[in-house]
Every structure is written in structure tokens, then in C-alpha cells.
Amino acid sequence: MLRTARVLSSVFLGLVVATGCAQVPTEEIAAADQAMEAASSSEAEVYAPDSWAVAEDARAQLDAEIEAQEQSFALSRSYDHARTLAADVKAAAEQAAGDAETMKEKVRVEVSGLIEQARASLQEVRTLLANAPQGKGTMADLAALEADARSTEDYLAEADRAYSDGNYMDAQAKAQAALTELDKVKAEIQGAQRARGPA
């Protein structure tokens, strides 16, 4: 009887120890969350959406695993897989952050060139307008084209502000809008010149 009691006591102690070891890996999860926050701060959602999606998917898998273990019988819980998933989240988030920084720098350089290209195009349009033939029937058209050209100055000013603030995607959109409008104005002026023929 005493031997049986000792055996049962040993088994119970073993179960207690095993249960005590099945603890939620809070440190690993915290490290994973910190990496996710860093990736978000790097605007991974914007500049590295594919990598960010991988990190988010890994985080969802981790949440599901933690929930599954919490709903299982206490003595059968194991957080080994959760630890592995937490490491996966951390690695994926760090990858997303790195990808975002790389792409952000690439876009920054591209936008800088795009803004300069738009400025040069605006100057070209101003020259074309200044040299456009003046005469009856053309004044209203020229005034409309000049108004269109002036509107691109607002786009460029907004692009400059966005660029200075580090909002490179917004700056890219504004600079591209300016270029599109300027190309349209340029084409209309050149088309009118060709229609008039030599002076």
C-alpha cells in the first residue's frame, strides 16, 4: 500500500512538473510582437505588402496555436509548436521590415527623379505657351491651357511636401499626376501649332 502511494505520488509529481513546463512562451511572443511593431513602423504594409502578409499570416497561426492549447486539457498542453511559430513570426516580421526599408529607399530615389522631370516639363510647357501664336480665336484656348499648367504647380507643391514628410508613395502619385497633365497640355499646344502650319 505504501509502495503504491509512493508510485502514485511520483506520477502526480511528474504530472505537476510537466504541467508547470507547459507555460505560454510569453518572452518569445513579446519578441515576435516587437518585430511586428517594428515592421509596421517601417510601413511594411505599404512598401512590402507581400512580406507583411507573410508575417501577418504567421502571427495568425501563432494566435490559433495558443488558443488551441488553452482550450485543450491542462495536462496535455504543449507550447513547443507555439515557440516555433513565435520564432517564425519574428523572422517574417524582420524580413518585412528589411524589405520595406529597401523598397522605401528605391521609391524615394525614383520620386526625386520624377519630381525633377515634372519641373522640367513644366518649364517646357511655359516656354511653349509663351511662344504660342497669339491671335483671334486662340486666346480662350491659351488661357485654358495656362490654367491647366498652373494647376500642375499645385500638384508639384503637394509632391514636394509629401516627399519632405517621407510620404513617398503620395509624392509619387502627385508628381505623376503633374506629369500626366503637363504631357496633355504639351500635346495640345503642339497639335495647335501643327494645325496652324508655318507662320
Looking at 103, 138, 169, the residue that finishes a domain is: 103
Looking at 73, 88, 103, the residue that finishes a domain is: 103
The pLDDT assigned to 164 comes to 95
Do residue 44 and residue 94 come from a single domain?
yes
Do residue 112 and residue 98 come from a single domain?
no
What angle is formed at CA 162 by the lines to CA 161 and CA 167, rounded to 5 degrees?
A: 155
Whole-angstrom distance, CA of residue 111 vs CA of residue 179: 12
Domain assignment present for 75: yes
Closest CA to 65 of 95, 35, 89, 36: 89
Do residue 40 and residue 81 come from a single domain?
yes
How many C-beta neighbours within 10 Å does residue 34 have?
Answer: 12
Range of the domain at 131: 104-192
Domain assignment present for 110: yes
Per-residue pLDDT of the chain (199 residues; tens, 9 = 90+): 545 444 344 444 444 444 445 799 999 999 999 999 999 999 999 999 999 999 999 999 999 999 999 999 888 899 999 999 999 999 999 999 999 999 999 999 999 999 999 999 999 998 888 887 665 456 667 788 888 888 889 999 999 999 999 999 999 999 999 999 999 988 887 776 676 655 4
Do residue 108 and residue 184 come from a single domain?
yes
Q: What is the pLDDT of residues 86-103, one digit of tens each?
A: 999 999 999 999 999 999
What angle is formed at CA 76 by the lines to CA 73 and CA 77, rounded to 5 degrees?
A: 85
Do residue 186 and residue 110 come from a single domain?
yes
Looking at 54, 74, 103, the residue that finishes a domain is: 103
Do residue 57 and residue 72 come from a single domain?
yes
Domain assignment present for 66: yes
Do residue 98 and residue 122 come from a single domain?
no
What angle is formed at CA 158 by the lines to CA 153 and CA 164, rounded to 5 degrees?
A: 125
The pLDDT assigned to 5 comes to 42
The pLDDT assigned to 132 comes to 72
Domain assignment present for 157: yes
The pLDDT assigned to 19 comes to 46
How many C-beta neighbours within 10 Å does residue 158 have?
Answer: 17
The pLDDT assigned to 129 comes to 84
**Is the CA virtual torsion 31, 32, 33, 39 positive or negative?**
positive
Q: Which backbone phi and psi does 137 adopt, to 5 degrees?
A: 90, -10
